[in-house]
Every structure is written in structure tokens, then in C-alpha cells.
Copies of this chain bind each other. A is one copy, B any other.
Amino acid sequence: MRIVTKNDILANLDTAAALSAIESGFKAFAAGKVQVAPVVHMGFPDARGECHVKTAHIDGTDTFTVKLATGFYDNPSRGLPSSNGIMAVISARTGEPVAILQDEGVLTDVRTALAGVLAARAGARADATVLGVIGSGIQSRLQAEMIASVLGYSHIAVWARRAEQAQAVVQDLNAKFPQLSIEVAESAEAVAASADTIVTTTSSDAPLVQADWVKPGTHIVAVGADSPGKQELDTALFARAEHVIVDSLSQCIEHGETANAVADGSITQDKLITLGDVLSGPGLSRSADAITIADLTGVALQDAAIAGCVWQQLTLTSSAA
């Protein structure tokens, strides 16, 4: 069994290969060829902590993955990061644990952003050039980086509740993409006024994007609502939407943005389409002036796909050495 540190993981992470593996994973999921175990939740209220265990296997792949992800929200006061975690990679042929990826959560960050790329590509207009980003955390940066670079946006507008944090995101992005036009937006409304594609990345528990701000032709990728009680989008957007893509029907109905919209009757379940089905098909038939939404809650298949990818690369590297 190999122990792989975060640095070695990053050195062996081919994001193009991971994007492809996650895309294949979503297609397999839509075809009923992914085994996703129910998520284990453990709570540690005394320490304001929680742990999730996510397990998945994509049929036909050599390994399956058990991911432990922790969030302990008093940690920053002790100088420790809130989030931590490991992924155990296990042979699907022999049951042997082959690797512990001590990724400290970075693979979750990347696989979340890569699903954003797939969701943006699946729903956005072909002529989209302006990417709007709501939020200023790690997903704000990663989604902006990956969507912009993979899908070729020329402009990025960033808004966050704290302006100085939005400014920091813009600075970081400008340093990486000097050829793009990247700016802080004055408000979420201003983001909506300019963006062709909006990605929302906050942990908000109340709508940040109002329905009447969003212009026709916009595609929204919502990645913030990954547990009950979170909400970034006005549910009226779902009533206006021509298409609503969900990464996992059961999860999105249970705790995604979609859950809020289903709860208040803005949308019915029969109008939802899964990301895997869109990726497997000829592409979304979207009108140029329609609003479309992709609701991402994060599916364990993404962990299995990215961990398998890193493991495969490590194996190749070892063979070559």
C-alpha cells in the first residue's frame, strides 16, 4: 500500500485526464454502471465537526474509492485548516488497499471544479464569452480557472459579499491569466447583467442571485448547495429555466438548489435531466434566449474517477522509473 502526499498527488494529477475520467464517470452513472454507496455522516457537535464517508466504484475500472472528508469549524482558531481528508484507493479485483491519497481535500476541490467545467459546457451557449463568478473561496478560484481555461472565456467578473476577497480572487486570476479581462463586479446583479455563464460557489443559505436579474441566454452552474439548508439561487429561476441539469437526481432533490425549487413548486421532478444523460446524448437542445441551470451537489463517482486517475498516473510513473 502506497501513501501519497498532497504534493505527490498534485505532481501526478493530470487535470485533462481527470476531466475525461469524471465525464466518463457521469455517463456510466446515467447508464446505471456506477455503484455509489449511501453517504455516511458523523457529527461531532462539541468540536463543531463533521465527517462524511463517500464510496463509489465505476464499473469496469480497476479501483474503487472510499473518501473520508472532515470539516471541523473551530480548527482555524487553532491554526488548523477546517477541512481535511484522505481517499483510500482499493483494488476492485482483489480488495487490497493500494493507496492512501493524503490529499487534505485538494482532490475534492479539483473534482468539484471539473464537474463545474462539464456542467458549464453542457449548458452554456456556444458563443458565451463572459463568465460570472459569485463567491471568493477555493471554488471561486478553481471554477473560474478551469471553466475559463478549458472552455475559453475571454472575460471574468467576480463578486463576493466581501469586496476585498473578490479583489483577491481577481488578482490571483489575473496573475494566472494575463490575457483575459478579469474584474471585480459591483454586485451580484452586475455579474448577472454581464455574464453569459454564472457559477455560484458560496455557502449561502439565502438566494444571492435573483431571478429578474438574469438575462435571457444565461446558463447558471450552482455548486454551493452541497448540504441541507444552503441556497444561492432564487427558486423563481427554476420556473423560468428551459432546462435544469442535476448531477444526481436523488441528491439534488434531497439537498441541492433543486430541493428548494421542488419544495416551493417552482419546478417538478419530471423537468430535471441528469448531467450524465446530457453528456451521453447529442447535447442540450437549448434556445439562444433561454435560461438554463446546472445544480451540482458532488457525487462520489467524481472521487472514484479522480483518485483512479491519480493512481493510474502513479503506477505509470513507477513503471517508467
Contacts and interface: CB of A to CB of B under 8 A. Distances in A.
B90 A97 contact: no
A53 B55 contact: yes
Interface stretch (A13-21, A40-48, A283-291): A40-48
B97 A3 contact: no
A43 B40 CA distance: 17
Contacts of A66: 40, 51, 53, 66, 68
A60 to B, nearest CB: 9
A315 interface: no
A311 to B, nearest CB: 16
A85 B38 CA distance: 20
Count of identical protomers in the assembly:
2
A86 interface: yes
A95 interface: yes
A94 B80 contact: yes
Interface string A26-58: 000000000101101111100101010101010
A211 interface: no
Interface stretch (A70-78, A180-188, A199-207): A70-78
A64 interface: yes
A96 B47 CA distance: 12
A249 interface: no
Interface residues of A, number: 39
Contact of A95 (B49, B57, B64, B95): B49
Contacts of A43: 35
A100 interface: yes
Interface string A107-142: 000000000000000000000000000000000000
B75 A94 contact: yes
A35 B42 contact: yes
A92 interface: yes
A88 interface: yes
A84 interface: yes
Nearest to A36: B42
Nearest to A78: B94
B38 A38 contact: yes
A53 to B, nearest CB: 6
Interface of A: 1, 3, 35, 37-38, 40-44, 47, 49, 51, 53, 55, 57, 64, 66, 68, 70-72, 75, 78, 80, 83-86, 88, 90, 92-97, 100, 102
